[in-house]
Amino acid sequence: MVADIVAMMPSPTRTPATASEPDPSRRNNLALLTSLVHHNGVLSRAQLTKRTGLNRSTVGTLIGQLVNLEVVYETAPSGESQVGRPSPIVHPRPSIAALAVNPEIDAVTIGLVGLGGKVQKKIRFDTERIPTAKEAVNIAAAVIAGMRSELDTSYRVMGVGIAVPGLVNRDDGVVRHAPHLGWRNEPVAGMLSEATGYPCHAANDASLGAEGELLFGAGAGQKNLIYLNGGASGIGGGVIADGALLRGVSGYAGELGHTFVRSSGRPCHCGATGCLETEVSQSSLFELAGLGGGDASQLEQALRAKSSESVTAEVARQVGYLGIALRNAVNTFNPEAIVLDGFLGVLHSLSPGTLDSSLRSQAMDGPSGQVKIYQAALGSDLMMIGAAELAFTQFLADPAGAFPTPTP
Amino acid sequence: MVADIVAMMPSPTRTPATASEPDPSRRNNLALLTSLVHHNGVLSRAQLTKRTGLNRSTVGTLIGQLVNLEVVYETAPSGESQVGRPSPIVHPRPSIAALAVNPEIDAVTIGLVGLGGKVQKKIRFDTERIPTAKEAVNIAAAVIAGMRSELDTSYRVMGVGIAVPGLVNRDDGVVRHAPHLGWRNEPVAGMLSEATGYPCHAANDASLGAEGELLFGAGAGQKNLIYLNGGASGIGGGVIADGALLRGVSGYAGELGHTFVRSSGRPCHCGATGCLETEVSQSSLFELAGLGGGDASQLEQALRAKSSESVTAEVARQVGYLGIALRNAVNTFNPEAIVLDGFLGVLHSLSPGTLDSSLRSQAMDGPSGQVKIYQAALGSDLMMIGAAELAFTQFLADPAGAFPTPTP
DNA sequence: CGTAATATGTTGGATGGCGAAACAAATCTA
DNA sequence: TAGATTTGTTTCGCCATCCAACATATTACG
């Protein structure tokens, strides 16, 4: 129970080589408490004291400030009581909110997520054809404009997060290349910021999925996890290492969909051959299932119903390649958990144990020892939560700082 | 600049609270300064002020403390002077030192490294046969015992770091499996600590190599780099992500030597097939070069002298597989630099540009855009420096804390 | 049913590190 | 030689935190 977060202790494993840039994991204690409440939902003041390692009195004054700032509120102690004076419960205020935008090949989804990670609102706007960046921004801006009066009266919106299936430079919000959307060098964050007046940030969808699963989903509490999502637009990946999202120098890290899994494999749109994404795709599964379209759960049902030799063979083939990619990832990252989303989760669920045993036999003893494979837990809310987290980041780092005021 | 990181900021940590110790933020900043001086060698006080973002006066008092603690010393300003009052130069005291131990299949090397990263002493003890863990510990203990009087009079030894070619659990110092040494579940850190009285820590050699190159070598200043070392005992890897070594849940991360590079490849000792380590090895290169043994630079010379079709073909074959592994790594990590050591550096040097162009064509545009490939810079000192860093870690996190006193 | 034990909130005071400002020192420029 | 510039030094005030003592709310127990 001794806090994994402790007041004012330098991390012994990370001695900063250069102090020229602020370490983003360092926060003041106000931020620490806000993050705890946001990510864990409901905690008593006593629990917060234990988790932070701060003094009772300090936590008292800090919570007082957060109450004044209307970031959290306290309620009477819960029914289940122990010996001693009951401790009030601290809740995140869902009226502190962030907007989330997720453009896909057939729709643009806009969501509103409150502090604490609950999706308050989700609007899916189906598009006739693949939206251009401009169209996606226009759609998002229009939907947000429609919500505007409600947002202004009932919420404090901290910003907008955009989850894009492609390479995104998180620092400047430019989509470098989103192959399935056909976007190149689109400054979506800037465009949407211009259109709405809110501060906007963009990132890769799978990276945000990884963060969402880390904080609120199947991987909650883990510090090292790999998230892999399989959808119509290929396979995206996000990696959490030591509690933080792996970003790389430009924020492009985590492209596990392009892991090499087959010699003389088919050419991939990325320019290489034998990528996981080209060998493992959901289209053939949908065909075998006799479905024209649909989501992962429909696919799973249809494949289970239609179990035949050809289905079994194709599933086995895809699981085999997935196993190779996972073996690599496990040897590379030594994670505690692998979270599979979309049709990759279906593959795992259809042949339970196959991936596990494939990992045990292929990956090295040490790294593979503790790995567990999960199916993703958050479903369609995941992208909203992950994208909103992007918009919350700045606020969580400084909850007492100036609240951004939209200037449309 | 950075002012906000330092003052009165806690940092989330994975270590339990030693709540009894006071003044955590001062310790933080002391640690910051000590690390800067250690890793950058020589800096003026003015530079330290800029780098840390701390106030002039604060840096003054902190440096004063470090001088009192005999961690650093100041000298007169350097000759090259600008407008304004010259700023004294701060040097790390090399008498603050750490011991380094590196067992290999044919030798055990023991080194002494001073604060600032300079190798003060290096003793290579050749062994008749592959040393057992016990033998390696005995050798190291004996050599250290021989140095003991000098250590006690002229140095303050912060501990011992052991670099082991294999899977090492950094937390408990147990070598899980070192295939080429034939070690399994050997608590080397505990054994050596028992034998010498110094606090001992162990880690994977390539991981430590990565840290060494990051802090003092070819990758100095980078925040995202991949280090790959090819030696007689296979291929080891270490990854620096966002300025910190990638460890994974048990510290086994970074095993890039077992990246999948070939379908239906040869079986590897790790249990899988098609590993980089089985397809790319130095033994065939040594054969072609007509050498029975030797180091990387000898190999390079011999291969250059003996250039023939068979040499060219084998080099091309190995570079091809290395390219696949690097492509994976680049897509996964989006690093700024790749540092190749040992015979992998030779491969790169023999066919300059091949790896680069192979990366540009295979890896994705975004991630590969900024990558540069380097040959390792530190040579045989690297392991000493990396291992010593392991022993310095605790000291760097709390330079004012209790200095460990050996109790033999 | 009342007292003890336990856990936690609350308050006031003490601590200690840091930044700001004013001043001093050392160098370059003109 | 005077001014500009940069940096070390000193003093002072701030403020987040911890500590200790006290208050409060609940369970445990006779």
Each residue of B116-159: pLDDT tens digit? 999 999 999 999 999 999 999 999 999 999 999 999 999 999 99
Let me know whether B361 and B389 are in one domain.
Answer: no
The answer to whether residue B22 neighbours chain A at the CB level (below 8 Å) is no
Residue B358: pLDDT above 80?
A: yes
Helices (H), B274-398: 276-279, 282-289, 296-305, 309-333, 342-350, 354-362, 365-368, 382-397
**Cα A76 from Cα A320, distance rounded (Å):** 53
The nucleotide closest to A74 (CA, C1' atoms): C9
Spans in chain A with pLDDT lower than 50: 1-26, 404-408
Let me know whether A46 and A175 are in one domain.
Answer: no
Q: What is the pLDDT of residue A218?
A: 83
Let me know whether A234 and A369 are in one domain.
Answer: yes
A40: in domain: yes
**Cα A234 from Cα A179, distance rounded (Å):** 10
In this prediction, residues B162-176 reach a mean pLDDT of: 94
A248 vs B contacts (CB less than 8 Å): 224, 241, 333-335, 367
Start-to-end CA distance of chain B, whole Å, equals: 47
Helix or strand run (H / E) with residue A169: strand A167-169
CA-nearest of B156, B184, B391, B358 to B269 is B184
pLDDT tens, position by position, A336-381: 999 999 999 999 999 888 998 888 888 777 666 789 999 998 888 9
Q: What is the pLDDT of residue A405?
A: 38
DSSP A240-292: EETTEE---SSS----GGG-B--TT--B-TTS-BSBHHHHS-HHHHHHHHT-S
Let me know whether B54 and B103 are in one domain.
Answer: no
- Within 85-104 of B, beta carbons closer than 8 Å to A belong to none
The answer to whether residue B407 neighbours chain A at the CB level (below 8 Å) is no
A364: in domain: yes
Q: How far is CA A307 from CA A237, A283, A285, A315, B363, in A?
A: 29, 17, 12, 10, 37
Q: What is the pLDDT of residue B406?
A: 35
B268: in domain: yes
In this prediction, residues B217-237 reach a mean pLDDT of: 90
Let me know whether A359 and A393 are in one domain.
Answer: no
Q: To which residue do tokens 């420096």 refer? A: B385
Q: What is the pLDDT of residue B13?
A: 26
A23, A246, A271 ranked by CB distance to B361: nearest: A271
Q: What is the pLDDT of residue A330?
A: 95
For B51, name the nearest residue in chain A, comparing CA atoms only: A20
SS3 content of chain B, % helix, strand, coil (to 5): 45, 20, 35
Q: Name the β-bridge partners of B166.
A: none
B260 vs A contacts (CB less than 8 Å): 259-261, 324, 327-328
Let me know whether B228 and B369 are in one domain.
Answer: yes
What's the total number of domains in chain B?
3
The answer to whether residue B18 neighbours chain A at the CB level (below 8 Å) is yes
Residue B10: pLDDT above 80?
A: no
Let me know whether B337 and B316 are in one domain.
Answer: yes
Let me know whether A101 and A197 are in one domain.
Answer: yes
What is the side-by-side order of every strand in the sheet holding A43-44? A43-44, A89-92, A72-75
B48 vs A contacts (CB less than 8 Å): none
The boundaries of the domain holding residue A117 are: 96-207+382-397
Helix or strand run (H / E) with residue A90: strand A89-92
- The one-letter amino acid code at A271 reads G
- The one-letter amino acid code at B168 reads V
Q: What is the pLDDT of residue B214?
A: 93
Q: What is the pLDDT of residue A295?
A: 81
The angle, 0 to 180 degrees and rounded to 10, between the axes of the packed helices B282-289 and B296-305 is: 50
Q: What is the pLDDT of residue A402?
A: 55
CA-nearest of B96, B13, B62, B75 to B396 is B96
Q: Answer with the one of A39, A68, A92 that is the final residue of a domain.
A: A92
**Cα B226 from Cα B339, distance rounded (Å):** 6
Let me know whether B84 and B122 are in one domain.
Answer: no
- Within 161-180 of A, beta carbons closer than 8 Å to B belong to 167, 169, 176-177
B17: in domain: no
**Cα A169 from Cα A173, distance rounded (Å):** 6
Let me know whether A126 and A84 are in one domain.
Answer: no
Q: Could you tell me if A288 and A311 are in contact, meaning their C-beta atoms sit under 8 angstroms apart?
A: yes
B72: in domain: yes
CA-nearest of A125, A122, A116, A48 to A87 is A48
Q: Answer with the one of A75, A92, A109 that is the final residue of a domain.
A: A92
Whether B328 sits inside 8 A of A260 (CB atoms) is yes
| C-alpha gyration radius of chain A | 22
pLDDT tens, position by position, B19-47: 233 456 777 889 999 999 999 988 999 99
CA-nearest of B233, B238, B178 to B212 is B238
**Cα B129 from Cα B131, distance rounded (Å):** 6
Q: What is the pLDDT of residue A368?
A: 65
Residue B343: pLDDT above 50?
A: yes
Grade residue B219 by pLDDT with cuts at 50, 70 and 90.
confident
Whether B15 sits inside 8 A of A11 (CB atoms) is yes
**Cα B376 from Cα B47, distance rounded (Å):** 28
A255 vs B contacts (CB less than 8 Å): 331-332, 334, 364, 367
Q: What is the pLDDT of residue A25?
A: 33
Let me know whether B191 and B283 are in one domain.
Answer: no
For B250, name the nearest residue in chain A, comparing CA atoms only: A334
Nearest-Cα distance to chain A for B3, in Å, is 8
Grade residue B70 by pLDDT with cuts at 50, 70 and 90.
very high
CA-nearest of A203, A213, A215 to A251 is A203
The CATH number covering residue B270 comes to: 3.30.420.40
A74: in domain: yes
CA–C1' gap, A404 and C13, in angstroms = 38
Let me know whether B136 and B199 are in one domain.
Answer: yes
Q: Any residues with CB less than 8 A from the CB of A195 and at least 6 apart, and which?
A: A137, A138, A140, A141
B406: in domain: no
Q: In chain B, pLDDT over 70 holds for what percent of residues? A: 91
Residue B237: pLDDT above 60?
A: yes
Q: Answer with the one of B47, B73, B92 that is the final residue of a domain.
A: B92
Q: What is the pLDDT of residue B336?
A: 94
DSSP 8-state assignment for residue A9: -
**Cα A155 from Cα A392, distance rounded (Å):** 14
Q: What is the pLDDT of residue B383?
A: 95
CA–C1' gap, A284 and C7, in angstroms = 61
DSSP 8-state assignment for residue B5: G
Q: Could you tell me if A53 and A41 are in contact, meaning their C-beta atoms sit under 8 angstroms apart?
A: no
Helix or strand run (H / E) with residue B178: strand B174-178
The CATH number covering residue A88 comes to: 1.10.10.10
∠ CA B243-B248-B251, nearest 5°, is 95
Token pair belonging to A4: 């994994």
**Cα A219 from Cα A226, distance rounded (Å):** 9
B408: in domain: no
